[in-house]
Amino acid sequence: MAQESLNEKHAHRQSETFSTQNPAITITRVVSSPSDLPETVADDNIPTIPTAQQNTALLPPKDRGYKAYRTLAAAVILEAVTLGVPLAYGIYQDYYSTLFPDNTTAPWIGVLSGGMPFLGAPLVTFCCDKYNLNLRHFLWAGWSLCWMSLVASLWCTSLQVLVVTQGFLYGLGSLLFELPLLTLINSWFDKKRGLAYGVIFGGADLFAFGNTFLVSYLLKRFGPKVTLTVSALLLINLGGGAILLLKPRPADNLEPTTTETTATATPRRDSIPSPLVLPNQPDSKTPPPTIRYFKRPLFYLFALANLAQALSYYLPFIYLPSFTTDLNYTHDQAALVLALANLSQVLGEVGFGKLSDHLPVPLLLLISTAIASIATFTIWGLVASKSLAAIIVFAVFFATFGSGFMALWARMATMFDERDTQMVFSHLSFGRGLGAILSGPVSSALLSMDGGVQDKIGVDISAFGAGKYSGIVGFVGGCMACSAVVGVVCWFAVWWRECDGLFFVGGRKEREVEAEKVKVDFGWDETMEFVNIR
């Protein structure tokens, strides 16, 4: 009887609707009489239904805590042991070129194993979003395909078969787990997402730095079968153990509960809904009415800057060893230059990833590409041919600032709607893979055009880029400069967004300001729970 009387009072609430100057904002205030409800209920054994806020409080926190850092550490391990093979392929290629001197297909192994994770990223992201597939299934499938391709390579007797196993199949396995892994990391990191991505990429480069010496030693001492076996065992044990620790944050699969009471539960005063509610609240799975990424000019500016940077970024790592040996330095000294360049990438990726969580992305984009361009023209072009120290200085500067560009992808993606973040990231990955592949034939043409005479008489240390490499130096510096110019345009685009939202969600900032003003005007700054900003 008491329960029926309580529900009858609860049903006689009155609603008041207020309008604002902006028609996109509507506020409904529901007036009830909570004071008429009893402080306690007759039956203390009747449970109350927890609110969504209470559920959220019980979830593991984002950006901090043991579980978040455990997931990040597992992601670093899986990324490192998987990408360690293609990142050290230069050692394999040098060995294969001596084992099969008349075969020219060896470079395709490195192209496929290292390029497929970039080029196929949009397709994998589309499948994950379209069909709502389990991310852990992708991790297990990609990991399995990677180590099985290495095991299959043990019985290969020709480079053509190695192209299929160590090249295509290994690249396909890397493709299957790369984007799902980063999507899983997104569920744990929000404000520190840039730092998380930088740690993952930097960890992979740090492992590749040590793995390069390990692969070189094993190939010289035992041959390719033992080397591939060791790589497969590292991948099976370390990679498999890491996947066991990789789990998405529970909030991604938790449906928030409502504050309405069931037919058998009696409401307490502290469980009464807030006086301010929204009529016709859309379902949580309904996409927000925002402009998609492919309709925003800023997306194409980022893509253009990324392509220009990718066309030139890998060329110094390819040609610095030969540049060093052409100046009559030893092969060990050339290997030292390359090793220091790879090690400097770790500093750049972690550093720029950390900075991207606090500074504007266009500013960091400009710093990364502008300094890389200046270092290319001045150090590599003018003074690197005169001393080994100058070559090392250029390698460190270029690798540190150039590698930071990739660490900015995470924050570039978050400048768009949350449902588009991973697709934006995958398109940037595709652009990087495309630029890396196109840079190969372009650099070969430039080298043959400028180096034809120097191949016969040697390099000219007084000429720009030592004469033989002048075209390469000019191309790298020019592409980095073009990317920096686009970065300036991106900076202007973000400034314009703050004015009227042309490049992002139109007028959203102004609507949020007006909503805050409405809260103060009606005196609801303490009790308002929802404001509908469409």
Per-residue pLDDT tens digits of the chain, which is 534 residues long: 444 554 544 444 444 444 444 444 444 444 444 444 444 444 445 444 455 455 555 788 888 889 999 999 999 999 999 988 888 887 787 788 778 877 777 778 888 888 888 888 898 888 877 777 788 889 999 999 999 999 999 988 888 899 999 999 999 999 998 888 988 898 899 889 889 999 999 998 889 888 888 888 898 899 899 999 999 999 999 999 999 999 888 854 444 444 443 344 444 433 333 333 333 333 434 444 467 888 888 899 999 999 999 999 988 888 888 888 889 888 778 878 888 888 899 999 999 999 999 999 999 999 999 999 999 999 999 988 889 999 999 999 999 999 999 999 989 998 888 788 888 999 999 999 899 888 878 887 887 775 554 454 457 777 888 888 899 999 999 999 999 999 999 888 777 765 544 444 444 444 455 455 444 444 444 444 434 433
Which residues, at least 6 apart from 352, have a Cβ–Cβ distance to it below 8 Å?
A: 194, 198, 364, 368, 403, 404, 405, 407, 408
510: closest CA among 2, 25, 15, 7? 25
Return d(Cα 360, Cα 365) in angstroms, integer: 9
- Report which residue type is found at 69: Y
Strand 25-31 versus strand 14-19 pairing type: antiparallel
Q: Which pLDDT score is estimated for 497?
A: 63
Whole-model pTM over 0.75: no
Q: Are 293 and 412 in contact (CB under 8 A)?
A: no
Dihedral in degrees, nearest 10, Cα atoms 151, 153, 156, 161? 140
Which residues, at least 6 apart from 55, have a Cβ–Cβ distance to it below 8 Å?
A: 254, 256, 257
Return d(Cα 62, Cα 187) in angstroms, integer: 8
Residue 103: φ, ψ to 5°:
-105, 135
Give the CB-side neighbour count of residue 518, counting CA atoms within 13 A. Answer: 25
Q: Are 246 and 181 in contact (CB under 8 A)?
A: yes
Q: Which pLDDT score is estimated for 527?
A: 41
Domain 71-251 has CATH 2.60.40.10: no
Q: Which pLDDT score is estimated for 363?
A: 92
| 3, two tokens | 């329960």
Q: Which pLDDT score is estimated for 95?
A: 83
- List 16's β-bridge partners, or say none: 29
Which residues, at least 6 apart from 225, have a Cβ–Cβ distance to it below 8 Å?
A: 154
DSSP-based helix, strand, coil % in the chain, nearest 5: 70, 5, 25
Q: Which pLDDT score is estimated for 534?
A: 34
* Domain 293-521 in the same topology as domain 71-251: yes
Q: Are 79 and 200 in contact (CB under 8 A)?
A: yes
Q: Are 527 and 276 in contact (CB under 8 A)?
A: yes
Burial of 148 (0-12, 13-18, 19+ CB in 10 A): middle
Dihedral in degrees, nearest 10, Cα atoms 288, 292, 295, 297? 100
Give the CB-side neighbour count of residue 17, counting CA atoms within 13 A. Answer: 7
Return d(Cα 271, Cα 267) in angstroms, integer: 6
376: closest CA among 427, 327, 324, 315? 315
- In the numeric block, the tokens 């409080």 are attached to 57
Return d(Cα 508, Cα 497) in angstroms, integer: 10
- Report which residue type is found at 48: T
Tell me the CATH architecture of domain 293-521.
Answer: Up-down Bundle (1.20)
Ramachandran bin of 248, using left for φ above 0, alpha for ψ from -120 to 50, beta for the remaining angles? beta
Name the residue ranges covered by the structural domains of the chain. 71-251, 293-521
| 192, two tokens | 């520190």
